[in-house]
Structure 1
Amino acid sequence: MKLKNFKGEIILTITALIWGTAFVAQSMGMKYTKPFTFNGVRTVVGGIALLPVILFMSKSKGESPKTEINDNKLWIRAGIECGLALLIASSLQQVGMQYTTAGKAGFLTALYIIIVPILGLFLKKKVRMTVWLSVVIATIGTYFLSVKQGFNIGIGDIYIILCAFGFSVQIMIVDKYASLTNAVKLSCTQFFVCGISSVIIALIFEKPQFSQIMQAAAPILYAGVMSSGVAYTLQIIGQRYTEPAVASLIMSMESVYAALGGWLILNEQLTGKELFGCALVFTAIIITQIPKKGSSSRSFEKIETQQA
């Protein structure tokens, strides 16, 4: 069992690495394309990348969980809801990437780990004191990370913070349907909904050029195939062997990899003040993931109802 746990942790570490470095790909892609064009092509590619996985799973024995409901209407509704939430969140993120660094975007996006349990209050979820402590620390960290001279917050930082709320909603929707339909099919559907919607918006407002898309082919393929297709699939596999609190903590490392990727690949620099803000935000993320003492059950961050 310990070997399986280790296997799951390694897989989730790779997932976080892919997601973190995808911020670099997004930043590079924006040199050639506009936000909705990049997101549209990227998520369609991600959906296509998952099709072989679905085909393989359909041929494998015991591919579906016992709790899965074979309901096409539910599957489609779930895919549309998740896809629209992903559209809003990823669009805000991609627009914000035009005005801020990959490292800062990675850290601010990671705020979803704190926002999710706060939104859970509306579902009458009890919030531990450690979470409120995390909120205070993250707020201070966000101040040092985002607020410029004259108490002005950069426009890109605002977009990224809003995107964190969008991803929080998307996470809650996914949790709502995770036990009711196939997770990989759900991910694939949400990518196509998000991608097609983004392409339509891009055609109306951005007038994308094929030559521009080809110039951004490498970042698009990495963000599409690796970040969307591969990483989401690895997440599902990794969480089979890893307890939820540990899995969330490992995946939150995407913010660290985003900062390192921006530093190593894009030569982005963070000031001492911004580094201190990053440290506070990451500390808040760690504190949020600490399970309640004496409890072996999943912490309150879990939105979906556990099945017996």
Structure 2
Amino acid sequence: MPESRRSHLIAVFAMASIAAVWGGGFPATKYCLQAGLSVGTLLTLRFAIGTAGLGLMLLVLRVPIRRRDALDGLWLGLVLAAIFWVQTDGLRFTSPSKSGFITGLYVIFTPLVALLAGDRLRASHGLAALVAVTGLVLLVRVPGAAWGGWTRGDSETLLAAVLCGFHIVMTAHFSRRSSGWVLAFIQVAVTGAISLAITLALPAPHSFQGSGAALAHAGTWVSLGFMGLLATTLAFYVQSTMQARLGATESAILFSLEPVWTLAISVSGFVPGIREHLSPTQLAGGLLIFAATFVAELGPRLLKRFQRPEAEEAIG
């Protein structure tokens, strides 16, 4: 197998694995919110843990921080902070699975942002995005409910999905010229610092006050550890380094697996207090999202196989 192909497959596997980790972040976040943590407290602690983890890696590996790397990380951090604040606040008003599904709509926003940035859009990726969006619509819609079941939290999450499209495209460009370690560390540290400043300025119960009881539960710290170490430290490093080997739209399709994992964890009852139900329509939507991933990955190769016999026939 050519080295470039092997490198690409490693990146695909790594990004798909991170989608699974991020999928678990939605029920973990909902658990902390139900336990009584404010949005600001949750984000400050999560990104403080993530900053410490990535900072330790930088020290151990002696990774230098260049000016360009720091500036790129700063821009990513500003967008990331906005994403997590609107998404986490939205989870107060919607379910983990629905939040995950709406967030997954970045599969259609990412190629639009990529086009604005001058990237080329492959036909297979465009088709996969359309299939994924169809699946997401089936997963989100609640028949018979007012506004189709749409809530304030869904609107906030939709805004997060739009911002995710910008973040994915920005990461794809920055990771080709800046250190993945530094990008991950700076953007996580910036998000943590912004969260701390906002939380200190907010009145109770949105500030740190009132979160003491929730922090007394072991489950809260398990969730924070999962989000801080796996869904932040590990995940943002992998995204910052591996996405350089993939296109922005291809990355978005792989990330579309995230809501499927969110739903699977949410219906399993694995997270205490989180138990949702999967309807046949939602199952169909999840299957379409998986299909979209295969279209993105296998589409170009299948197209080449179909074109090869035609080319040989024309030569003969």
Regarding TM over 0.5, the answer is yes
Is 1:249–1:285's contact at 8 Å kept on the other side of the alignment?
yes
- Paired residue for 1:25? 28
Is 1:40–1:199's contact at 8 Å kept on the other side of the alignment?
yes
Gaps of 5+ in 2: 306-316
1:163 to 145, 157, 160: 160
**Distance in 1 separating the partners of 2:296 and 2:12:** 19
Q: For residues 109-129 of structure 1, what are the alpha-carbon distances to aligned partners after superposition, in whole Å with 9 as ceiling and x for unaligned?
A: 233233211112212444344
Write the mapping of 1:1-308 to structure 2, written as runs, cut at 5 A: 11-31=14-34, 32-58=36-62, 71-72=66-67, 74-148=68-142, 149=144, 150-152=146-148, 153-205=150-202, 206-209=206-209, 211-212=212-213, 214=215, 215=217, 216-235=220-239, 250-264=254-268, 265=270, 266-289=274-297, 292=300, 293-294=303-304
Q: Which moved more, 1:41-50 or 1:175-184?
A: 175-184
Q: For residues 206-229 of structure 1, what are the alpha-carbon distances to aligned partners after superposition, in whole Å with 9 as ceiling and x for unaligned?
A: 122351462432211210111100
**Distance in 2 separating the partners of 1:135 and 1:15:** 19
- Paired residue for 1:305? none
Code of the residue aligned with 1:117 in structure 2: it is P
**Distance in 1 separating the partners of 2:242 and 2:175:** 15
Distance 1:144 1:85, change over 3 A: same
Q: For residues 38-85 of structure 1, what are the alpha-carbon distances to aligned partners after superposition, in whole Å with 9 as ceiling and x for unaligned?
A: 122211211111012112222xxxx78xxxxx742x233222211110
Q: Which moved more, 1:94-103 or 1:165-174?
A: 94-103
**Distance in 2 separating the partners of 1:130 and 1:9:** 16
Is 1:83–1:194's contact at 8 Å kept on the other side of the alignment?
yes
Code of the residue aligned with 1:232 in structure 2: it is F
**Distance in 2 separating the partners of 1:233 and 1:15:** 10
**Distance in 2 separating the partners of 1:243 and 1:178:** 11
How far residue 131 of structure 1 moved from its aligned partner, in angstroms, is 4.8
Q: For residues 96-143 of structure 1, what are the alpha-carbon distances to aligned partners after superposition, in whole Å with 9 as ceiling and x for unaligned?
A: 222222223223323323321111221244434445544544444343
What SS does structure 2 have at the residue aligned with 1:30? helix
Gaps of 5+ in 1: 65-69, 296-308
**Distance in 1 separating the partners of 2:122 and 2:191:** 34
Distance 1:155 1:288, change over 3 A: farther
Q: Which moved more, 1:242-251 or 1:32-41?
A: 242-251
Q: Which structure has the greater CA radius of gyration? A: 2
Q: Which has the higher helix share?
A: 2
Is 2:97–2:262's contact at 8 Å kept on the other side of the alignment?
yes
**Distance in 2 separating the partners of 1:44 and 1:123:** 32
RMSD value over aligned CA atoms? 3.2
- Paired residue for 1:300? none
Identity score, percent: 21
Distance 1:156 1:276, change over 3 A: farther
